[in-house]
Copies of this chain bind each other. A is one copy, B any other.
């Protein structure tokens, strides 16, 4: 019975599974350009898109203190944050077995308003670099007034789940003989050629952050 799981291996396996899930949650949130924040106001659900960044065990998002969502973000408010990456459409022989390839992660937690300026700047740097890596070092940094005009919310990544759907077409046995096309159409987000602001100073070239982002998202600078 050497192969039977002992309490120790069972625990180790559970830990491995938990570590694995956590890595997937991190990956999905790190790759996603936006997420959706869910919260309850007066008993009703709300779902708002936002940009975000992960710093270790904390997920941050931000906005204007005047926005509806952020007015409702009190310390301790229960929120759920979901990030979804759409990877493809699965066309089966039968309508019933059509599906999507996707990766989705959900974080369940409570809001914490970031009070310390130091942590707020770390969060803003991470959010800025999450959308456009390296941008923080290129752009003018927030002034004291701009910092005051920004509300940053933190959520500890402690309770979470992930779902990865990446299987091949799974049709009913009888259906494989049907002369119906089946397969997967891959989907991805692609960057177009950057459009310079019409007030850009002469001679200012495309920065590394934008060049690298466009390359990472399969675009070509200068393409239409």
How many subunits of this chain does the assembly comprise? 2
Query: A185: which of B39, B92, B100, B214 is its contact (CB, 8 Å)?
Result: B214
By beta carbon, the residue of chain B nearest A190 is B190
By beta carbon, the residue of chain B nearest A208 is B181
**Residues of B contacting A140 in the complex (Cβ-Cβ under 8 angstroms):** 93-95, 175, 178, 180
Determine whether the beta carbon of A195 is less than 8 Å from that of B181: no
| Bound Cα distance A188, B36 (Å) | 18
Q: Does A156 contact B (CB under 8 A)?
A: no
Instruction: Of the listed stretches A3-11, A14-22, A53-61, A82-90, name the one at the interface; the rest are far from the partner chain.
Output: A82-90
Within 8 A of B (CB), among A146-164: 146, 149-150
**Residues of B contacting A222 in the complex (Cβ-Cβ under 8 angstroms):** none
Task: Count chain A residues whose beta carbon lies closer than 8 angstroms to a beta carbon of B.
Answer: 92
Determine whether the beta carbon of B36 is less than 8 Å from that of A45: no
Determine whether the beta carbon of A191 is less than 8 Å from that of B185: yes
Query: A45: which of B79, B175, B193 is its contact (CB, 8 Å)?
Result: B79
Within 8 A of B (CB), among A26-41: 33-34, 36-40
**Residues of B contacting A178 in the complex (Cβ-Cβ under 8 angstroms):** 140, 201
Determine whether the beta carbon of B106 is less than 8 Å from that of A47: yes
**Extra 8 A-B pairs, beta carbons < 8 Å, given A36-B82, A181-B210, A186-B194:** A45-B46, A47-B80, A95-B128, A138-B180, A181-B196, A183-B197, A188-B189, A188-B192
Interface residues of A (CB under 8 A from B): 33-34, 36-40, 43-49, 51, 78-82, 84, 86, 88-89, 91-96, 98, 100, 102, 104, 106, 108, 124, 128, 131-132, 135-136, 138-143, 146, 149-150, 168-169, 175-201, 203-207, 209-210, 213-214, 217-219
